[in-house]
Amino acid sequence: MIHLIYNLIFRLAKFSMKKGGSIAVECHDCGIRYALNRYEPAISFGGKTLRSEFPWHVALYRKYHTDESPDYICGGSILHPKVILTAAHCIYNETYSAIENATFSVIAGKYYVSWKRKDPGEQRFEVLKIKFPETYVGFTNRYAEDIALLELNAPINITSAIMPVCIDWNSKYLVEQLSTIGTIVGWGLTENNTVSDELLMANLEYIDFIKCRDRISEGFSFFITSDKFCAGVDNGTAVEHGDSGGGLTFPRNTTNNKEQYYLYGIVSVKDVSRNNIAAFTDIRKHLPWLNKTLLSITEPWLFEKSCPPFSPNSFSLEQCNLNGTSVDCNSGAKLGTKARLHCKSSYYTGSPFKLYTEAECSAGLKWLPLPESCLDCGKRYRFNRIQPLVKFKQRTVSEYPWHVALYDKGKRLDDLSAICGGTIIHPKAVITGQEDIYYRYLQRSNFAL
């Protein structure tokens, strides 16, 4: 018999859900156990817990009506100041194959599970969006891909008592090479079959996929999908109803002798015929999905259709606005965004009456009209160095790239006589002295540059 850690029968009866991240963008400490005060909580075979000892663990609550107090349903782990990692079955409606039609809330820094009992320093949030793999369908697919991310309505204030858990994004540390004993915390049932009001912990032995299948019942082995591993011990310590969604973490000593906890599994399903074995979603099998989904929450512009950022070195982006609101488009821009650009120092538009240029992010994800080129001006260029030969120094080729020679055209095409110099001020305009050409030559066609 299969028993979801979260009470499946109750969930099926009440759920009616609707479908609503190597990487923290900000750098925070992670996975450091911390105790603010020492308490004597209940013991569930595994051992005592201390207030704030597991600062990454959060409580997930659900309510259907505004006049109800939310009910605790699952645990979760802080992955990012705005993102919680939990199990998909915590928020999924098996009957309607959709997200539960309810309001979800998260409390970080929680020790006593009661919604009405506030803990010192706790932080409360509403769940804004829920994301889980499209292929997750609960029991129908043996609870494969039982993983979900919850986007909060505001960022968590990270402290030494509330912080993210560590994730081995680059798969540098194999769980088999870490301690074989992992730690799980939660507000699940105790050995007396009563719901604990205080946060409990248990130490469980990691059991890989192949060994797990040899140690569990034939019926339960059906639910050990390729994205799971098992954990448990023989002394009766086990995860129970209420522990779903919590993270199984393993310690690793850092170079500065600091112990940090890395999350490798999420409490998923349990074999009730042998109550010491549970299956955990192996996040190593979901790192690509986690990475992409986390980024879609923390850096959504990466996934939106947008015009590329301006790259020419001659431009400076002065401002961007979308529907009258100032926006940042240094990394790209949404359709309809209007940008004002001006030429950088030592460049100019070629017109004294046009100090800037404008463009709009249009269909086809292109900036239109295409920004005019900013012209380089007044920079000496040296192709090679030549020693001066006479009183006037001989200049190198192209050293003064704005200077031109003005010629008088004779009757033949090759009959040209230099008459004076000039200066380029625009791709189609040269400035020169008036007197030499005005009185001697009246027709524009007589000249060549």
* Complete domains list, the chain, with CATH: 2-298 (2.40.10.10), 315-376 (no CATH), 379-449 (2.40.10.10)
| 3 state DSSP class of 284 | helix
* CA gap 141, 144 in Å, rounded: 6
* CA gap 32, 160 in Å, rounded: 8
In 3D, which of 80, 84, 248 has the Cα closest to residue 175?
Answer: 248
* CA gap 229, 210 in Å, rounded: 9
Phi-psi map region of 378: left, alpha, beta (phi>0 left; psi -120 to 50 alpha) = left
Task: Count Cβ atoms below 10 Å from residue 12 Cβ, excluding itself.
Answer: 14
Q: In what order do the strands lie in the sheet with 447-448?
A: 429-431, 416-426, 403-409, 447-448
DSSP 152-211: ESS-----SSS-PPB--TT--S-GGGS-SEEEEEES-B-TTS-B-SB-EEEEEEEE-HHH
Q: What is the dihedral of CA 414, 418, 419, 420, to 10 degrees?
A: 130
In 3D, which of 254, 293, 274 has the Cα closest to residue 2?
Answer: 274
- Residue 162 and residue 182 in contact, taking contact as beta carbons nearer than 8 Å: no
* Per-residue pLDDT of the chain in tens (449 residues, 90 and over written 9): 344 443 332 222 232 333 333 333 345 678 888 653 333 322 234 455 677 889 999 999 999 888 888 999 999 999 999 999 999 999 998 888 888 878 999 999 999 999 999 999 999 999 999 999 999 999 899 999 999 999 999 999 998 899 999 999 988 877 666 677 899 999 876 666 666 789 988 889 898 888 888 888 888 888 999 999 999 876 666 566 678 999 999 988 876 777 889 999 999 988 766 557 889 999 999 999 999 999 888 877 667 767 877 666 667 778 888 888 888 887 778 888 888 887 776 666 656 555 567 888 887 778 888 666 676 666 665 544 444 434 445 556 667 888 888 887 766 666 777 778 888 887 788 888 776 566 555 555 566 66
Tokens of 36: 């603010």
